Structures are given as C-alpha cells and as structure tokens.
Amino acid sequence: MTDTLPDRLSVDPRSPHHDAALLQRGIGIRFNGAEKTNVEEYCVSEGWIRVAVGKTLDRKGNPLTIKLTGKVEPYIKDEPAEG
C-alpha cells in the first residue's frame, strides 16, 4: 500500500472523499502544530479541517462540525518501528 495521503479525506462513508482502507490504517492530523483527534474531514491544499463539536448531533444524526482553517499535516499512525 502506498504511503502518500490524499489531499482530502473524510470519515463519512457517504462522502466521495472517504477511503475505508486508508482510515483503517490510522490517520493522524497535526493542525497548526497541535495533535487533533476529533477530525471528521480535512483538506491540505485549502488548509482546513472539520472537527466535531462535542457530542452534539444534527437532525440526521451526524456529528455537528465546525470548519477551522490553518496548516494541516496528515500522517499515517501505523508506521513500522525502527529496529
């Protein structure tokens, strides 16, 4: 499997930017230098992430999100240990 990450990725299976195999490997996001664990979607070229707002749900049962802009750095979490 390739180690290049897409420019845009979403955890929502209904999104055209969803990649289940890649998400299963584990994707980490650094946003403006800080680790984010509640990212629902990101776009590196446009410089934004969508994060869940607490446990609030919209009327369709999806997490309520807000868009934050800044420097987005995705990485793969399951990289093999050296040794």
Tokens at 7, concatenated? 């420019």
In the chain, where the domains are located: 8-76
Tell me the per-residue pLDDT of 3-49, one tens digit each, with 9 for 90 and over: 688 999 999 999 999 999 989 988 999 999 999 999 999 999 999 99
Output the CA angle 25-37-74, nearest 5 degrees.
55
Q: Model confidence at 75, in pLDDT bands (50, 70, 90)?
A: very high
Tell whether the model's pLDDT for residue 53 goes beyond 50: yes
Tokens at 36, concatenated? 């984010």
Cα dihedral sign, 83-21-44-4: positive
What's the pLDDT score for residue 43? 96
The structure's pTM equals: 0.82
Q: Model confidence at 82, in pLDDT bands (50, 70, 90)?
A: low
